[in-house]
Amino acid sequence: MTPFGWGSIARLGLVQMALGAIVVLTTSTLNRVMVVELALPALLPGMLVALHYLVQIARPRMGHGSDVGGRRTPWIVGGMAVLGIGGVVAAAATVWMATDRPAGIALAMLGFALVGLGVSASGTSLLVMLAKRVPETRRAGAATLVWMMMIAGFALTAGLAGHLLEPYSPERLLAVTAGVSLIAFALTLVALRGLEGTEVRYETQHPDDKPGFREALAQVWSEPVARRFTVFVFVSMLAYSAQDLILEPFAGTVFGYTPGASTQLSGVQHGGVLAGMLLVAFSGALAARFPWHPVLGRIGSLRGWTIGGCIASALALLGLTLAGLQGEGSPLKATVFALGVANGAFSIGAIGSMMRLASEGRQSREGVRMGLWGAAQAVAFGLGGLVGTGASDLAHWLIATPGSAYATVFALEGLVFLISAALAWRISAPAPSSPARATPFSNAGDAFAVGTNHRQLS
C-alpha cells in the first residue's frame, strides 16, 4: 500500500474536523439550550453526553467489521452519515422538549446514541487508516495535525453556529444543525474520494483471518501488549478527564475568579495542550532529521513522551494541590498552562503509540485493537467527569476548607497519572534470544519506545 504523504494526512484531518463539528453541536450547543433556554436540569444533558460515550463500547465491533471487509472508507462514510443523522435527531428532540418533555427526552436518547455509534464507526476506522498508511517518521506530526484540525473544527463550528443562532429560535437551531451535518458529510465524501485506493488489505485468504467478532476480540485480549495498553488508556484518560469539570469551580471558589476569568483560565489550559502537541511533533521531526545524533535522535521517543507526559501531569497537579493549600498568591495560570502542556504531550505520545501498536500481533486485527482502545477511552471519559465531580463533592463534605478539599482531589488525580506512567513503562516485552524465537510482540518494547523509525499514536 502506498504510504500517505502530508496531503493525504491533511485530508483525513478534514474528516476529523467534520466529525468534531457535529459532535461539538450535540455536546455543547444542545447542552446549553437545554439548560438555559429550556430551563431543564443540567443532569439531563450530562446523562445524554454520558450515553453517547457509553454506546462507544461498540467500537471493537465496528473495527472488526472494517477488518473483515478489508476497507475503511465505507465505515468512515457510513459512520459520518449516522453521526449527522444523530445530530439532527438530537436537535429535533431538543426542540420537541419545549412542548412534550417526555417524548423529546426519549427522542434525544436515540439521537445521542446515534451520535455515539457514528463516532465509533468513523473515528475507529479513520485511526486504523492512519495507523496503516502513515510512515513511521511522520506519525507524531500526523497525530498532531489531525487532532489540531479536529480542535479547529470545534472552534470554527462553535463560533459560526453561535453567530447564526442569534437570535435563538427552534427553527434556527434545526437549520444550523442540519446545515452543519450536511456540510460535514459532503466534506467527508470529498476528502476521502480515491484516498484509500482499491487494494484489499488482507494479505492472505486463510479462513482463520476472518473469525467471528467474539473470537477476534478474545484473540486480541490474549495479546499481553494489547491488554496492558487497554488498561493504560483507561487509567490515563480517567485522570485526564477527571480534572475538566472541577478546574473552573476551583478557580472561582478558592481564587475568586469571575465566570469570565475562569473561562479564560480554561483557554490558558487549552493553549498549553496545543503547545504540548506541537512540542512532541517538533521533537519527532528533529529525531527523523538527525537519527544519528545521540540526543536529537532519541527525543522523538513516543514511549518517553507518554511516560514523561504522565509524570509531568502529576507534577502539575501537585502544583495545583499546593495552590489549593496556599490560596491566592500562587501562580495559578502558570501551573494550569504547565498542566496543559503536559496533557498535550502525553496525549500525542499515547495516540502515536496507539497507531504503532495497532499493527503489532496477529494480522488483520487492527480494527479490533483500535476499537478496544477507543472504547476504553470513551468509557474513561464518560466516568471521568462523574469521578472528578463526585470526589470533589465528597472532599468538600469531609473537609471544611474548600482549598484543602480541592487540593485532596488534585493530589489523587496526580497519583492516578503516576500509576498511568508505571503502566506505560510496563508496556514492553523482553527481546527474543534469537530470531527463530521471535513472537508477534518481540518488538513490542521498541514499538512503544519510538525512536527514529517508530510510529506514533493518533
Q: Which CATH number fits domain 213-428+442-458: 3.30.530.20, 3.40.50.300, 1.10.3720.10, 1.20.1250.20?
A: 1.20.1250.20
pLDDT of residue 182: 97
Report domain extents, the chain.
Answer: 1-196, 213-428+442-458
pLDDT of residue 274: 87
Judge whether 1-196 and 213-428+442-458 match in fold. Answer: yes
Strands (E), 88-150: none
Q: Which of 425, 242, 238 is nearest to 320 (CA)?
A: 242
Number of H helices, E strands in the chain: 17, 0
Q: Which of 290, 320, 347 is nearest to 408 (CA)?
A: 320
pLDDT of residue 271: 87
pLDDT of residue 51: 92
Collect the ranges in the chain with pLDDT lower than 70.
Answer: 1, 198-209, 292-298, 300, 361, 428-458
What the block records as the C-alpha cell of 124 is 475507529
CATH hierarchy code of domain 1-196: 1.20.1250.20
Phi, psi of 457, rounded to the nearest 5 degrees:
-60, 150
pLDDT of residue 434: 37
What the block records as the C-alpha cell of 270 is 487549552
334 touches 22 (CB < 8 A):
no
DSSP structural state of residue 28: I
> In sequence order, what are the residues at sequence separation of 6 or more whose Cβ sits closer than 8 angstroms to the Cβ of residue 218?
none
336 touches 269 (CB < 8 A):
yes
Q: Which of 324, 319, 322 is nearest to 336 (CA)?
A: 319
79 touches 121 (CB < 8 A):
yes
